[in-house]
Amino acid sequence: MYNLIVFLVLLLLGYGVGQYAERRHYRSIIEREGRLNALPAIASRYPPTQPHYRQALVTGSTVISVDYFKRFLAALRNLFGGRVTSYESLLDRARRESLLRMKQQAASMGAAMVFNVKYETASISKGRGNTIGSIEVLAYGTALIEPRGQ
Amino acid sequence: MKYRNPPIPEGINVSDRHPLRELFVLAGGALLLLLLLSWLLGQFGGRLARLLPFEHEAVLAPVSLLSSDAGPELQAYLDQLGDRLTTQMVLPEAMQVHLHVSGGDSFNAFATLGGNILLYRGLLEQLPHENALAMLLAHEMAHIEHRDPITGIGQGAAIQLVLGMLFGDPNLGVLGSAGLYTQLHYTREMETEADADALQAVQRLYGHIGGARELFDVIHAQREKSGLGEMPAIFSSHPLDQQRIEAIDTLAHERGWSKTGETTPLPPDFTRWIIEAADRAKARARTDGMIPGMPTSPSSLPGHPRPG
Amino acid sequence: MLISNLELIPGRRVVEHLGLVQGSSVRAKHVGRDIMAGLKNIFGGELKGYTELLQESREEAMQRLQQQAEAVGANAILNVRFSTSSVAQGAAEIYVYGTAVTLE
């Protein structure tokens, strides 16, 4: 009985705090995406050769953890199959955040655009049992920096 | 070559299903599945367990828990009453019933593997006359005749093993003797059928069922006294006392058994024997260092000892 | 919508790049597939259940990719890359991304 109460409390906490944190995070992401809109990130491999840009590798990474509520939903999903909607928003946030951080790094270098953007997703810290506790997304690309004096 | 960055609308890579709704749907489905699985496993395990021949049950019996605090006179009296009942019940040859008495305080009695029945002093001293005692013994013997102990264990063990394998940590200790003791769990159907068979045996022995019904009054009175009250029937594996009395009344009415008749009194030394058994239990407790069978709360009975 | 993992489409010119578009899908297997996979562990062979699962997942991810590209007004997606990762026990994420472009 005691275990059930603890479980329900954790679930509620996970849901409440998780949803709040997620909304806040999304607001921040959308706002920053607006600000960094001028800096395009392209997945293409052939950058423009003129003007003669300087190049630098830029990266941005995020590790986002699952909350109790999401993990429980995913475990239930495992029984019936189908889309694990609780993880979709998690990964979406992680990716966009990583991209923004990469862009921020590029912007701080004075880049005009970032080319050959690639993503890597990995799972960090397997939690209790075999469930994965957190997810890391790495976004990296080559920043094309305006040559000095222009 | 132009490089633009038009904003991408939200919601393409994210589903807008509300998480709480999903939780309820999934959890409800999972719970349903679990109940169905448990029920299926119980049925399967019970049936499988019944295939075990009765003679082999004795190997699994929790002998260490079957105390014998009864003096020779009490044991002889119980044995002869038991024999008279088994004759009426026509138990198979291979089934030998062994009666044990514990001097413990508990208001309980149960039947376990190998034809062993344990009766507690706390219950014996409340019985008003022999008819009630006979009903009690017959009820426990009916459980043995129906092979309820091994069925109950089979059901419980099957559920625990498979669910344990599914969710990790299968508890194989379920087959140890302690596990057996706690696995003793009878369903309502088992209890009702045991009641019916016991009633028939008592009717054959005494010619009426008057005193037998009083057993349930005694149980009910004890439950009221202990303040436990009665849980809604759906939550208890025990049919409520009122339902049991109604059930046996209906049965008696169908078969045309008489509900009134002279009750046979217990032997005059019965109270003394009980007290002697209690003393023996206390002495044993002092030497052993533990008092088996003396939980503070009386469990619902006759039937299964509640674990813990 | 032209989806290709080529950098340059021969015969067509890229008019403008419209940024990175992505599609992702996380799917879980269910107990039935799990049990079959367990059996296959003994006998070996292709895990058809899982193949189907990942196939469906990939299709959904591609669909979402297209949706994003349409939303930014592109008519082709170039340099498409796939990425598969396991994000939870029993669930895999398929992630597709590429550059949305306007081809002439």
Residues 37-66 of C with CB under 8 A from A: 53, 60
Name the one residue in this structure whose structure tokens are 């082999």: B56
Residue C55 has pLDDT above 50, yes or no: yes
pLDDT of A107: 93
Residue range of the domain that includes A56: 2-145
pLDDT, tens digit, for every residue of B56-80? 877 777 777 777 887 888 888 889 9
The per-residue DSSP string of B125-139 comes to: TT--SHHHHHHHHHH
Q: Kindly state the average pLDDT of the residues C29-48.
A: 82
Q: List, run by run, the mean pLDDT of 10-residue segments along chain A (150 residues).
A: 83 89 93 90 83 89 87 84 86 92 93 91 65 81 81
- What is d(CA B201, CA B161) in angstroms, rounded to the nearest whole number? 37
Tell if the CB–CB gap between B5 and C23 is shorter than 8 Å.
no
SS3 (DSSP) at C34: helix
The CATH number linked to A99 is: 3.30.110.70
pLDDT, tens digit, for every residue of B217-256? 888 777 777 765 555 444 444 556 777 888 888 888 888 8
Q: Which two tokens stand for residue B247?
A: 């059930």
- What is d(CA C16, CA B54) in angstroms, rounded to the nearest whole number? 85
- What is d(CA B271, CA B73) in angstroms, rounded to the nearest whole number? 12
pLDDT of B168: 59
Strand partners, A114: A41, A143
For chain A, which chains pass the contact test of at least 3 CB pairs under 8 Å? B, C
Residue A122, CB-side half-sphere exposure with 13 Å CA sphere: 9
pLDDT of B184: 53
Contacts of B287 (CB under 8 A, 6+ apart): none
Model confidence band, residue B216 (pLDDT cutoffs 50, 70, 90):
confident
Of the residues B1, B13, B22, B167, the best mutation for testing chain C's interface (the one with the most C CB atoms within 10 Å of its CB) is B13
The answer to the question of residue A150 being in a domain is no
The amino acid occupying position B101 is V
pLDDT of A31: 93
SS3 (DSSP) at A55: strand
Whether chain B has a CB inside 8 Å of the CB on C68: the answer is yes
pLDDT, tens digit, for every residue of B149-167? 888 888 877 877 777 776 6
Nearest CB to C91 within list A40, A74, A95: A74
Q: What's the total number of domains in chain A?
A: 1
Residue B107 has pLDDT above 70, yes or no: yes
Whether chain C has a CB inside 8 Å of the CB on A121: the answer is yes
For chain B, which chains pass the contact test of at least 3 CB pairs under 8 Å? A, C
Q: Which two tokens stand for residue B280?
A: 């023996």
Task: Give the B-side interface with A, CB within 8 Å.
Answer: 1, 3-5, 7, 10, 13-15, 17, 19-20, 22-23, 26-27, 29-30, 33, 168
Residue B307 has pLDDT above 50, yes or no: no
Which pTM does this prediction carry?
0.67
Residue B180 has pLDDT above 80, yes or no: no
Strand partners, B23: none
- What is d(CA C99, CA A26) in angstroms, rounded to the nearest whole number? 23
Nearest CB to C26 within list A80, A91, A119: A91
> How far A150 CA sits from the closest chain C CA (Å)?
23
Whether chain C has a CB inside 8 Å of the CB on B4: the answer is yes
Residue B296 has pLDDT above 60, yes or no: no
For residue B145, CA distances in Å to B43, B63, B163 come to 19, 19, 30
Q: CATH classification of C2-103, choosing from 2.60.40.10, 3.30.110.70, 3.40.1130.10, 3.40.50.300?
A: 3.30.110.70
Contacts of B30 in chain C (CB under 8 A): none
- What is d(CA C93, CA C85) in angstroms, rounded to the nearest whole number? 5
Contacts of A62 in chain C (CB under 8 A): none
Model confidence band, residue C61 (pLDDT cutoffs 50, 70, 90):
very high
Tell if the CB–CB gap between B8 and C72 is shorter than 8 Å.
yes
For residue B171, CA distances in Å to B18, B30, B181, B232 come to 37, 22, 15, 30
Number of H helices, E strands in chain A: 3, 4
Q: Kindly state the average pLDDT of the residues B165-174.
A: 57
- What is d(CA B201, CA B104) in angstroms, rounded to the nearest whole number? 28
pLDDT, tens digit, for every residue of A45-58? 888 877 788 889 99
* CB under 8 A, 24+ apart: contacts of B15-24: B15/A83, B15/A85, B15/A88, B17/A85, B19/A15, B19/A19, B19/A69, B19/A70, B19/A73, B19/A85, B19/A86, B20/A15, B22/A73, B22/A85, B22/A86, B23/A69, B23/A72, B23/A73, B23/A76
Domain parsing of chain B, residue ranges: 33-288
Model confidence band, residue B195 (pLDDT cutoffs 50, 70, 90):
confident
Model confidence band, residue B15 (pLDDT cutoffs 50, 70, 90):
confident
Instruction: Say how far residue B271 (Cα) sits from the centre of its chain.
Output: 26
pLDDT of A32: 93
The answer to the question of residue A42 being in a domain is yes
Tell if the CB–CB gap between B23 and A76 is shorter than 8 Å.
yes
